[in-house]
Structure 1
Amino acid sequence: MQGKGPGQEAMETPRAAGLAGVVFALLLSAAIVLIRLGIPEGADTVTPQAFTDSTRQGAVKTALALVPFAGIFFLWFVGAVRAHVGAVEDKFLATVFLGSGLVFTATMFGAAAAAGAVLAVAHPAGTSPGLSTWDFGRHFAYTLLTGYAMRMAAVFVCSMSVIGHRLGVLPRWLSVLGFLTALTLLFVSSNVPWAELVFPAWSLVLSVHIMVAGGRARSRLTASA
């Protein structure tokens, strides 16, 4: 069996990055939607008694089951994108890009743990959590998600857009989209419900672009072989 050359090995990275990014985007979107539906934010009409509904609890349980896998695919996505971009001479941007991705993952896990705490205080079945416990857990989960995780996501998106623009590995429209996404996550997500969905949406667009670009490069390599 003939071994792969260096060029062939390098060409596999964009495809892996794209697939990992697509899976991450879908998993994170589903988790955010389920958390928002199961534990509404800023709705005075939603009382602790409403959370005893099995539908709400089921939505939160499903979201919590998805979050670890979203984190795993995001880390794979980060590593694969770094390999696709290649060596970055600006160590500052490279460090910010990697660091913000790791902090985002940790904070996302923290938000999931807080949401799990809200779920735990609703037991035993048929009882409702106390008002103070309910409010604390609900606000803590959303503070971690929208106040911290999404701001780290904004830094991640911005640094990736700058790197992609400087190295020419991203088209201008995608870099501009990244900057707009970063601004939304930085200043809007903590005040506007559902705004955090722009992050998985950007990840999905970037992943599709990487897959398409990788496919074109692979076709050119095959044609020149």
Structure 2
Amino acid sequence: MPAATGQPDQPPRAAGVAGVVFAVLLAAAIVLIRIVFPELPPAATTWHATSLGRAALRVALTLLPFAGIAFLWFMAALRAYLGAREDKFFATVFLGSGVLFVAMLFALATDADSMLFVAGTSAGGPPPQLWRYSHHFTFTLLSSYCMRIAAVFTFSTTTIGRRLNLFPRWLVWLGYLVGAVLLVVVTEVPWSELAFPFWALAVSCRILTARSRS
């Protein structure tokens, strides 16, 4: 599909609002998960022994479903805006990667919720082996899979935005940079998962600003 030559109509406000909600909720959930599940867990599980640790994880698990719903709304609003102008190839990658991202996000939340349930029902907390398994599963799903499929979503969305002249040059470069970070270095650099909600926030603010100016 050839690139658009003119400035397209502005996308619906729902895309910008849903993107902001998603970015804020996901960033808060990632921060809480990183705090509750430290990168190098102690020899004995200690997070479940404090009410603060359990409360932080409950808050993160409460935020994740709403983050996923906001993300789906963000996708739907953008796809409705693209309409017949969308490139079939990139639109398929856009839709597939977005759905996979939400599915992995919910799987991560299910594992963390199971760990919280075991911590609340087991005398003395979960066994160390279960803690290590849950810790490894949570961070492997978050960094190795969830964020890498988010990189695919970032690349495809940025490419669509560039081809339709929806994104300015700085946002295009930011999208490709964030996609590269999520794809290559996310497993090596702690907290780099926050690059994805930061990019979503930048895209959403651009949409809302463009609508206000129009």
TM-score normalised according to structure 2 size: 0.91
In structure 2, the partner of 1:117 is: 114
**2:211 counterpart of 1:214:** yes
Contact 2:18 2:73 in 1 (8 A): yes
Mapped partners of 2:29, 2:43: distance in 1: 20
In structure 2, the partner of 1:22 is: 20
Contact 2:29 2:63 in 1 (8 A): yes
Distance 1:86 1:213, change over 3 A: farther
Shift in Å at residue 51 of structure 1? 2.8
CA-to-partner distance for each residue in 1:154-188, whole Å, 9 max, x for gaps?
Answer: 00000011111111111111011000000010111
Matches within 5 A, 1:70-109: 70-109=67-106
Mapped partners of 1:155, 1:45: distance in 2: 34
Mapped partners of 1:158, 1:61: distance in 2: 32
Contact 1:31 1:64 in 2 (8 A): yes
Q: How many residues align?
A: 207
In structure 1, the partner of 2:189 is: 192
Mapped partners of 1:78, 1:120: distance in 2: 32
TM-score normalised according to structure 1 size: 0.87
Shift in Å at residue 83 of structure 1? 2.3
Q: Which structure has the larger Rg over C-alpha atoms?
A: 1
Aligned counterpart in structure 2 of residue 203 of structure 1, from 194, 200, 208? 200
Mapped partners of 1:98, 1:215: distance in 2: 27
Q: Detail structure 1 runs of 4+ shifted over 3 Å in the superposition.
A: none
In structure 1, the partner of 2:173 is: 176
Shift in Å at residue 44 of structure 1? 4.1
Distance 1:192 1:124, change over 3 A: same
**2:31 counterpart of 1:33:** yes
Structure 2: runs of 5 or more not aligned: 1-8
Aligned counterpart in structure 2 of residue 55 of structure 1, from 46, 52, 55? 52
Distance 1:112 1:69, change over 3 A: same
Distance 1:162 1:137, change over 3 A: same
**2:129 counterpart of 1:132:** yes
* SS in structure 2 at match of 1:40: coil
Mapped partners of 1:15, 1:44: distance in 2: 43
Identical aligned pairs, as a percentage? Answer: 50
Contact 2:32 2:57 in 1 (8 A): yes
Mapped partners of 1:86, 1:216: distance in 2: 23
Distance 1:46 1:73, change over 3 A: farther
Shift in Å at residue 88 of structure 1? 3.6
Distance 1:44 1:66, change over 3 A: closer
Mapped partners of 1:184, 1:135: distance in 2: 26
Shift in Å at residue 208 of structure 1? 0.4
Mapped partners of 1:99, 1:50: distance in 2: 36
Contact 2:47 2:54 in 1 (8 A): no
In structure 2, the partner of 1:220 is: none
